[in-house]
Homo-oligomer: A and B are copies of this chain.
């Protein structure tokens, strides 16, 4: 089974959902049109499909190896990474000023999807490097940018994020790694960081660690954290590499999935670090880049879902088993003809395409927000980020599980590959903030802080899409009706949340994840509703008929099979808090 990057759907989403009419008018992107972007994406997709995707099972099966403090990856993995660097693929969405291609975020998101669908373990190294680039772009000094950015954007060096410690996971206020100002412009960093993705590896000449640590006189808790650059190898004034820093890899983890992505324990023993920005503002800087990292992990969910879908689809076409239930033939049929296999495949496709649509629209909003400082765009984009992270990753687990199911017994055999997606997907709702953390972000920061104003604007925009659908044909009307019902569930849940934010905060947060799932399910359904409108316009003009027909069918399936879940989430939120909060857990 080969991976076929969904370039047509990615471009459909960019053209119709990513606010391309506005993004294309931004000065920063004046040089690009849709054709240019498609050409870049096509080239990238070909590289991912041909060089990465066929190796995914083999790399996972051999896994990263730890030997005497060093982490080794298979030679083929190293070769593919070298090609990735040679072709400049790390640089797609990074600024031209430091050697990047400078393409808009919607193309960046598409490229993240395709690479991670080809192989999530491979994709994690560039993803973390993207995070480090984003952090340095936003918060680094000119000298720091000059020292590190070009080599990170080329992919010759990689980046890491060092947040977690054994006692400090979701709760970063408990970070204990120490940073001592040496008085010479450097800090001595001492402590142990865990779960560091690509914390040690042999793909690049250097690794740039971004490390949260605490100066001796810093306040306790989250407001006493500072952010440091700790290069694995020191960088000389002329840009050449110097001595090894005192950062050692103690071990790598034996993980359920993404086994070709080394997850390191890093021991910092008075390692040389450079402060980013000001002391005690580290967590604030982390939050700035966290939107980007969370968005990217959400996109990994779409990647995993689509790859699992493609694999299951190929199997369902090939595998012949049992006669049609309607008695139309005496011969066994390819299982894709059996209604329940269709149901599972369509569910996988609808959730994949729904997630992709959500990511595209948010990428566009982020571009508009960053370039024009449009407050509404920023608020809505920030409202969407926890949905993409929370909803797309939870759905990825579900979709990967369906992918195994479609394979039957074969799905449980590792060599088939379906199980790898099921294993890989499971980290997605955990890292870069668990689903509960995303739900707290959505509810606390994005909904309650403005007493639901952004949430109501979101609902109003959905109502506008419903109105447009109501003016369409029977399919559009059915989608619009399901959307309206889901949107009303959202509004009822929102009212409940705003009311309880004042009167009973525990009762509100008891429904935080149901609220996130309701909102994410609705948001993706909304974008598929907009997709249906665009597809109907295209069909009226006779353009891309098979693709547009399929798009419409996916949107209708989503409306009829997935949007009804919103009412169940509403019921949980509105009626479920007391049973949740009152229950005891006797020893």
A residues in contact (CB < 8 Å) with B: 164, 167, 169-171, 174, 194-195, 253-257, 313, 317, 320-323, 325-327, 332, 336, 338-343, 345-346, 397, 401, 404-405, 408-409, 411-415, 419, 422-423, 426-427, 429-431, 434-436, 439-440, 505-506, 509-510, 512-514, 546-547, 549-550, 553-554, 556-557, 559-561, 564-565, 567-568, 571-572, 575-576, 579-586
Report if A170-B322 is in contact (Cβ < 8 Å); known contacts: A313-B585, A415-B254, A553-B579. Answer: yes
Q: A560-B571, A560-B576, A561-B576 are in contact. List 20 more A-B contacts (CB 8 A).
A: A171-B321, A171-B323, A174-B332, A195-B409, A255-B413, A325-B505, A325-B506, A339-B512, A340-B512, A341-B436, A343-B580, A345-B585, A401-B426, A405-B435, A411-B426, A412-B427, A550-B586, A557-B583, A561-B580, A564-B572
How far is it, in angstroms, between the C-alpha of A215 and the C-alpha of B338 when the chains are bound?
A: 30
B339, B404, B413: the one contacting A510 at CB < 8 Å is B339
CB of A397, distance to nearest CB on chain B (Å): 6
How far is it, in angstroms, between the C-alpha of A215 and the C-alpha of B490 when the chains are bound?
A: 62
How far is it, in angstroms, between the C-alpha of A566 and the C-alpha of B563 when the chains are bound?
A: 14
> How many subunits of this chain does the assembly comprise?
2
Quick one: which of A343, A422, A427 has the most chain B CB within 10 A? A343
Asked if B426 and A409 sit within 8 Å, CB to CB, the answer is: no
Asked if B580 and A557 sit within 8 Å, CB to CB, the answer is: yes
Q: Given the complex, which residues of B lie within 8 Å of A514, measured CB to CB?
A: 343
Q: Given the complex, which residues of B lie within 8 Å of A557, measured CB to CB?
A: 576, 579-580, 583
Report if A256-B571 is in contact (Cβ < 8 Å); known contacts: A405-B429, A510-B343. Answer: no
Q: Given the complex, which residues of B lie within 8 Å of A568, measured CB to CB?
A: 564-565, 567-568
Asked if A414 and B255 sit within 8 Å, CB to CB, the answer is: yes
CB of A389, distance to nearest CB on chain B (Å): 14
B313, B325, B345, B583: the one contacting A346 at CB < 8 Å is B583
CB of A292, distance to nearest CB on chain B (Å): 20
CB of A59, distance to nearest CB on chain B (Å): 16
26 intermolecular pairs with C-beta atoms under 8 Å apart: A164-B409, A169-B321, A171-B323, A174-B321, A336-B585, A338-B436, A339-B581, A343-B510, A343-B513, A343-B580, A346-B579, A404-B430, A405-B429, A409-B430, A409-B431, A411-B426, A419-B426, A422-B426, A553-B582, A553-B583, A557-B580, A560-B572, A560-B576, A561-B572, A565-B565, A567-B567
B332, B404, B553: the one contacting A171 at CB < 8 Å is B332
Q: Given the complex, which residues of B lie within 8 Å of A339, measured CB to CB?
A: 506, 509-510, 512, 580-581
Asked if B553 and A584 sit within 8 Å, CB to CB, the answer is: yes
Q: Given the complex, which residues of B lie within 8 Å of A572, measured CB to CB?
A: 560-561, 564
Asked if A430 and B401 sit within 8 Å, CB to CB, the answer is: no
How far is it, in angstroms, between the C-alpha of A405 and the C-alpha of B572 when the chains are bound?
A: 20
Q: Given the complex, which residues of B lie within 8 Å of A512, measured CB to CB?
A: 339-340
Closest to A341 in B: B436
B253, B411, B413: the one contacting A254 at CB < 8 Å is B413
Asked if A571 and B564 sit within 8 Å, CB to CB, the answer is: yes
How far is it, in angstroms, between the C-alpha of A508 and the C-alpha of B580 when the chains are bound?
A: 36
Asked if A561 and B579 sit within 8 Å, CB to CB, the answer is: yes
CB of A263, distance to nearest CB on chain B (Å): 8
Q: For chain A, what secondary structure do more than half of its interface residues adopt (helix, strand, loop), or is it mixed?
A: helix
Q: Given the complex, which residues of B lie within 8 Å of A584, measured CB to CB?
A: 546, 549-550, 553
Asked if B170 and A321 sit within 8 Å, CB to CB, the answer is: yes
Asked if B253 and A413 sit within 8 Å, CB to CB, the answer is: yes
Closest to A405 in B: B429
B317, B412, B439, B582: the one contacting A255 at CB < 8 Å is B412
How far is it, in angstroms, between the C-alpha of A250 and the C-alpha of B353 when the chains are bound?
A: 42
B325, B546, B556: the one contacting A440 at CB < 8 Å is B325
How far is it, in angstroms, between the C-alpha of A572 and the C-alpha of B565 when the chains are bound?
A: 10
Asked if B565 and A408 sit within 8 Å, CB to CB, the answer is: no
Q: Given the complex, which residues of B lie within 8 Å of A565, measured CB to CB?
A: 565, 568
Q: Given the complex, which residues of B lie within 8 Å of A550, measured CB to CB?
A: 583-586
Closest to A418 in B: B256
Q: Given the complex, which residues of B lie within 8 Å of A345, measured CB to CB?
A: 585
Quick one: which of A313, A427, A571 has the most chain B CB within 10 A? A571
Q: Given the complex, which residues of B lie within 8 Å of A431, measured CB to CB?
A: 409
